[in-house]
Protein backbone atom coordinates (compact mmCIF):
# COMPACT_ATOMS: atom_id res chain seq x y z
CA UNK A 1 0.00 0.00 0.00
CA UNK A 2 1.40 3.40 -0.99
CA UNK A 3 1.84 6.28 1.42
CA UNK A 4 -0.72 8.27 -0.54
CA UNK A 5 -3.33 5.54 -0.09
CA UNK A 6 -2.52 5.40 3.63
CA UNK A 7 -2.93 9.18 3.81
CA UNK A 8 -6.30 8.94 2.06
CA UNK A 9 -7.40 6.25 4.52
CA UNK A 10 -6.50 8.46 7.47
CA UNK A 11 -7.93 11.61 5.91
CA UNK A 12 -11.26 10.35 4.62
CA UNK A 13 -12.02 7.17 6.61
CA UNK A 14 -10.23 7.41 9.97
CA UNK A 15 -12.88 5.23 11.63
CA UNK A 16 -12.49 2.37 9.13
CA UNK A 17 -10.05 -0.26 10.30
CA UNK A 18 -9.24 -3.56 8.64
CA UNK A 19 -12.41 -5.58 7.97
CA UNK A 20 -14.53 -2.64 9.13
CA UNK A 21 -17.60 -4.19 7.49
CA UNK A 22 -17.23 -7.38 9.52
CA UNK A 23 -16.78 -5.30 12.66
CA UNK A 24 -20.04 -3.52 11.84
CA UNK A 25 -21.81 -6.85 11.29
CA UNK A 26 -20.39 -8.22 14.53
CA UNK A 27 -22.00 -5.31 16.40
CA UNK A 28 -25.38 -6.12 14.84
CA UNK A 29 -25.08 -9.77 15.92
CA UNK A 30 -23.91 -9.02 19.47
CA UNK A 31 -26.94 -6.78 19.98
CA UNK A 32 -29.12 -9.91 19.77
CA UNK A 33 -26.94 -12.42 21.63
CA UNK A 34 -27.68 -13.60 25.14
CA UNK A 35 -25.59 -15.90 27.37
CA UNK A 36 -28.17 -18.66 26.83
CA UNK A 37 -28.37 -18.24 23.03
CA UNK A 38 -27.80 -21.12 20.63
CA UNK A 39 -26.23 -19.86 17.41
CA UNK A 40 -25.54 -21.19 13.92
CA UNK A 41 -22.87 -19.69 11.65
CA UNK A 42 -24.10 -20.45 8.13
CA UNK A 43 -21.03 -20.66 5.89
CA UNK A 44 -18.59 -20.69 8.79
CA UNK A 45 -15.67 -21.99 6.74
CA UNK A 46 -12.27 -22.17 8.40
CA UNK A 47 -12.91 -19.32 10.84
CA UNK A 48 -10.63 -16.83 9.08
CA UNK A 49 -12.85 -13.81 9.91
CA UNK A 50 -12.04 -13.17 13.56
CA UNK A 51 -14.92 -10.71 13.94
CA UNK A 52 -17.23 -13.72 13.61
CA UNK A 53 -15.69 -15.40 16.66
CA UNK A 54 -18.23 -15.20 19.48
CA UNK A 55 -16.53 -17.93 21.48
CA UNK A 56 -12.92 -16.90 22.12
CA UNK A 57 -12.80 -13.11 21.81
CA UNK A 58 -11.77 -10.44 24.35
CA UNK A 59 -15.37 -10.28 25.57
CA UNK A 60 -15.33 -14.01 26.28
CA UNK A 61 -18.02 -16.45 25.27
CA UNK A 62 -21.11 -14.56 24.11
CA UNK A 63 -23.51 -17.49 23.60
CA UNK A 64 -24.19 -20.86 25.17
CA UNK A 65 -23.49 -22.90 22.03
CA UNK A 66 -22.08 -21.89 18.65
CA UNK A 67 -22.33 -24.29 15.72
CA UNK A 68 -21.40 -23.90 12.07
CA UNK A 69 -21.96 -25.51 8.68
CA UNK A 70 -20.05 -25.19 5.42
CA UNK A 71 -19.12 -27.27 2.41
CA UNK A 72 -15.49 -26.47 3.16
CA UNK A 73 -14.08 -29.41 5.20
CA UNK A 74 -12.05 -26.94 7.27
CA UNK A 75 -15.27 -26.09 9.12
CA UNK A 76 -14.79 -29.20 11.24
CA UNK A 77 -11.65 -27.64 12.78
CA UNK A 78 -12.99 -24.08 12.92
CA UNK A 79 -11.73 -22.73 16.28
CA UNK A 80 -14.65 -20.29 16.58
CA UNK A 81 -17.20 -23.12 16.87
CA UNK A 82 -18.27 -25.60 19.50
CA UNK A 83 -19.23 -27.86 16.61
CA UNK A 84 -18.64 -27.60 12.88
CA UNK A 85 -20.36 -29.84 10.35
CA UNK A 86 -19.65 -30.19 6.66
CA UNK A 87 -22.98 -29.59 4.93
CA UNK A 88 -24.82 -27.54 2.35
CA UNK A 89 -27.02 -24.65 3.45
CA UNK A 90 -29.93 -26.25 1.65
CA UNK A 91 -29.74 -29.27 3.96
CA UNK A 92 -28.70 -28.11 7.42
CA UNK A 93 -27.91 -31.16 9.59
CA UNK A 94 -29.69 -29.96 12.74
CA UNK A 95 -33.15 -30.63 14.12
CA UNK A 96 -36.12 -28.29 13.82
CA UNK A 97 -36.11 -25.27 16.17
CA UNK A 98 -32.49 -25.81 17.27
CA UNK A 99 -31.25 -22.21 17.24
CA UNK A 100 -32.13 -18.77 18.56
CA UNK A 101 -30.05 -17.01 15.91
CA UNK A 102 -28.51 -17.86 12.55
CA UNK A 103 -26.02 -15.53 10.89
CA UNK A 104 -24.33 -15.54 7.48
CA UNK A 105 -21.33 -13.36 6.66
CA UNK A 106 -20.78 -12.94 2.90
CA UNK A 107 -22.73 -16.08 2.01
CA UNK A 108 -25.93 -15.02 0.25
CA UNK A 109 -24.10 -13.95 -2.91
CA UNK A 110 -22.99 -17.57 -3.42
CA UNK A 111 -26.46 -19.19 -3.16
CA UNK A 112 -27.80 -20.67 -6.39
CA UNK A 113 -31.09 -21.66 -4.69
CA UNK A 114 -31.58 -19.05 -1.95
CA UNK A 115 -35.24 -19.90 -1.24
CA UNK A 116 -34.17 -23.43 -0.33
CA UNK A 117 -31.54 -22.12 2.07
CA UNK A 118 -33.88 -19.54 3.62
CA UNK A 119 -36.44 -22.30 4.22
CA UNK A 120 -33.82 -24.44 5.94
CA UNK A 121 -32.78 -21.52 8.12
CA UNK A 122 -36.42 -20.98 9.09
CA UNK A 123 -36.76 -24.67 9.93
CA UNK A 124 -33.81 -24.76 12.35
CA UNK A 125 -34.74 -21.46 14.02
CA UNK A 126 -36.91 -21.37 17.10
CA UNK A 127 -40.17 -19.36 16.92
CA UNK A 128 -39.28 -15.66 16.74
CA UNK A 129 -35.67 -16.63 16.00
CA UNK A 130 -33.48 -14.26 14.00
CA UNK A 131 -31.59 -14.60 10.73
CA UNK A 132 -28.90 -11.94 10.28
CA UNK A 133 -26.75 -11.61 7.17
CA UNK A 134 -24.23 -9.36 5.49
CA UNK A 135 -23.83 -9.54 1.74
CA UNK A 136 -22.96 -7.26 -1.21
CA UNK A 137 -25.81 -5.30 -2.78
CA UNK A 138 -25.99 -6.47 -6.38
CA UNK A 139 -26.65 -2.95 -7.74
CA UNK A 140 -23.30 -1.64 -6.50
CA UNK A 141 -20.53 -1.32 -9.10
CA UNK A 142 -18.41 -4.12 -7.62
CA UNK A 143 -21.08 -6.87 -7.92
CA UNK A 144 -21.97 -5.50 -11.36
CA UNK A 145 -18.33 -5.94 -12.41
CA UNK A 146 -18.21 -9.34 -10.70
CA UNK A 147 -21.25 -10.57 -12.62
CA UNK A 148 -19.65 -9.63 -15.93
CA UNK A 149 -16.16 -11.06 -15.33
CA UNK A 150 -14.82 -14.63 -14.97
CA UNK A 151 -14.07 -16.24 -11.63
CA UNK A 152 -10.33 -16.21 -12.40
CA UNK A 153 -10.47 -12.41 -12.38
CA UNK A 154 -12.08 -12.47 -8.91
CA UNK A 155 -9.27 -14.69 -7.61
CA UNK A 156 -6.70 -12.29 -9.06
CA UNK A 157 -8.35 -9.26 -7.42
CA UNK A 158 -8.55 -10.96 -4.05
CA UNK A 159 -4.94 -12.07 -4.35
CA UNK A 160 -3.98 -8.42 -4.89
CA UNK A 161 -5.95 -7.60 -1.73
CA UNK A 162 -4.08 -10.24 0.27
CA UNK A 163 -6.79 -12.89 0.37
CA UNK A 164 -6.01 -16.56 -0.26
CA UNK A 165 -7.42 -17.87 -3.55
CA UNK A 166 -8.88 -20.89 -1.77
CA UNK A 167 -11.24 -18.51 0.04
CA UNK A 168 -12.60 -16.96 -3.18
CA UNK A 169 -15.84 -18.65 -4.23
CA UNK A 170 -18.13 -18.23 -7.29
CA UNK A 171 -20.92 -15.66 -6.94
CA UNK A 172 -24.42 -15.54 -8.45
CA UNK A 173 -26.20 -12.67 -6.57
CA UNK A 174 -29.72 -14.13 -6.40
CA UNK A 175 -30.47 -12.83 -2.90
CA UNK A 176 -28.69 -9.51 -3.03
CA UNK A 177 -31.08 -6.61 -3.18
CA UNK A 178 -33.75 -5.12 -0.96
CA UNK A 179 -36.42 -6.48 -3.32
CA UNK A 180 -34.84 -9.96 -3.36
CA UNK A 181 -34.82 -10.12 0.43
CA UNK A 182 -38.46 -9.07 0.80
CA UNK A 183 -39.50 -11.64 -1.81
CA UNK A 184 -37.52 -14.47 -0.24
CA UNK A 185 -38.70 -13.60 3.27
CA UNK A 186 -42.34 -13.72 2.17
CA UNK A 187 -41.78 -17.11 0.52
CA UNK A 188 -40.03 -18.76 3.45
CA UNK A 189 -41.81 -17.66 6.63
CA UNK A 190 -39.83 -14.59 7.68
CA UNK A 191 -40.76 -11.03 8.55
CA UNK A 192 -38.24 -8.36 7.50
CA UNK A 193 -37.21 -6.47 10.62
CA UNK A 194 -34.48 -4.32 9.11
CA UNK A 195 -32.41 -3.85 5.96
CA UNK A 196 -29.43 -1.50 5.98
CA UNK A 197 -27.56 -0.36 2.89
CA UNK A 198 -24.15 1.12 3.71
CA UNK A 199 -21.34 2.61 1.65
CA UNK A 200 -17.96 3.10 3.30
CA UNK A 201 -14.31 2.98 2.35
CA UNK A 202 -13.87 1.75 -1.26
CA UNK A 203 -11.97 -1.43 -0.39
CA UNK A 204 -11.63 -2.81 -3.91
CA UNK A 205 -10.27 0.49 -5.27
CA UNK A 206 -7.54 1.13 -2.69
CA UNK A 207 -4.86 -0.31 -4.99
CA UNK A 208 -3.91 3.13 -6.39
CA UNK A 209 -4.67 6.78 -5.49
CA UNK A 210 -6.50 7.36 -8.80
CA UNK A 211 -8.85 4.39 -8.34
CA UNK A 212 -9.25 5.34 -4.68
CA UNK A 213 -10.32 8.86 -5.71
CA UNK A 214 -12.96 7.39 -8.02
CA UNK A 215 -14.26 5.20 -5.21
CA UNK A 216 -14.28 8.16 -2.83
CA UNK A 217 -16.34 10.22 -5.27
CA UNK A 218 -18.81 7.36 -5.60
CA UNK A 219 -19.05 6.97 -1.81
CA UNK A 220 -19.75 10.65 -1.32
CA UNK A 221 -22.41 10.60 -4.05
CA UNK A 222 -24.46 7.60 -2.87
CA UNK A 223 -24.37 8.82 0.73
CA UNK A 224 -25.90 12.19 -0.17
CA UNK A 225 -29.46 10.91 -0.06
CA UNK A 226 -31.45 7.85 0.96
CA UNK A 227 -32.81 7.88 -2.60
CA UNK A 228 -29.39 6.61 -3.69
CA UNK A 229 -29.12 3.95 -0.99
CA UNK A 230 -29.88 1.14 -3.44
CA UNK A 231 -26.42 1.71 -4.92
CA UNK A 232 -24.46 1.25 -1.69
CA UNK A 233 -22.26 -1.81 -1.27
CA UNK A 234 -23.20 -3.42 2.06
CA UNK A 235 -26.57 -5.02 2.60
CA UNK A 236 -27.13 -6.03 6.22
CA UNK A 237 -30.45 -7.70 6.94
CA UNK A 238 -32.35 -8.88 10.00
CA UNK A 239 -35.24 -11.32 9.49
CA UNK A 240 -37.48 -12.79 12.19
CA UNK A 241 -39.09 -16.18 11.89
CA UNK A 242 -42.85 -15.83 11.93
CA UNK A 243 -44.23 -18.04 14.71
CATH code of residue 222:
3.40.50.150
Q: Give whole-number Cα distances, 53 to 61, 91, 156, 203, in Å.
A: 9, 23, 27, 22
Give me the pLDDT at residue 57, please: 76
Which residue in 124, 154, 121 sits closest to 136, CA to CA?
A: 154
Spatial separation of the C-alpha atoms in residues 161 and 57, rounded to whole Å: 25
Spatial separation of the C-alpha atoms in residues 226 and 185, rounded to whole Å: 23
Q: At what angle do helices 3-12 and 209-222 cross, to 10 degrees?
A: 20
Helix (H, G, I), strand (E, B) or coil at 157: helix
Residue 127 has, within 13 A of its CA and on its CB side, a CA count of 1
Q: Give whole-number Cα distances, 92 to 69, 172, 233, in Å.
A: 7, 21, 28
Mean pLDDT of 49-71: 93
Tens of pLDDT, residues 21-57:
999 999 999 999 999 999 999 999 999 999 999 999 7
Helix (H, G, I), strand (E, B) or coil at 214: helix
Of the listed ranges 26-30, 145-149, 166-170, 197-201, the least confidently predicted one is: 166-170
Helix (H, G, I), strand (E, B) or coil at 195: strand
Spatial separation of the C-alpha atoms in residues 221 and 216, rounded to whole Å: 9
Contact 22, 233 (CB under 8 A): no
DSSP-derived letter for residue 39 is E
Give me the pLDDT at residue 243, please: 72
Contact 51, 26 (CB under 8 A): yes
Spatial separation of the C-alpha atoms in residues 135 and 141, rounded to whole Å: 14
**58 pLDDT exceeds 90?**
no
Tens of pLDDT, residues 92-138:
999 999 999 999 999 999 999 999 999 999 999 999 999 999 999 99
The pTM of the full predicted model, rounded to 2 decimals, is: 0.90
Task: Report how many domains make up the chain.
Answer: 1
Contact 211, 205 (CB under 8 A): yes
Domain that holds residue 139: 3-241
Q: What is the DSSP string of 89-150?
A: TTS--S-TT-EEEEEEES-GGG-SSHHHHHHHHHHHEEEEEEEEEEEE-TTSHHHHHHHTS-
DSSP-derived letter for residue 224 is S
Q: What percent of the chain has pLDDT over 90?
A: 84
Give me the pLDDT at residue 170, please: 79
Amino acid sequence: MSRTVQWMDNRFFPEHGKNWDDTLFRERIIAHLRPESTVLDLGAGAGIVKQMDFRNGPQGRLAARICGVDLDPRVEQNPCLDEGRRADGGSIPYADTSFDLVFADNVLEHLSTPAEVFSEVARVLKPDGLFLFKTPNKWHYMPLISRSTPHAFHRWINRRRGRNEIDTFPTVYRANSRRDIHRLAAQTGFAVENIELIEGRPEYLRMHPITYAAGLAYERTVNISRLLSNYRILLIGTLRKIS
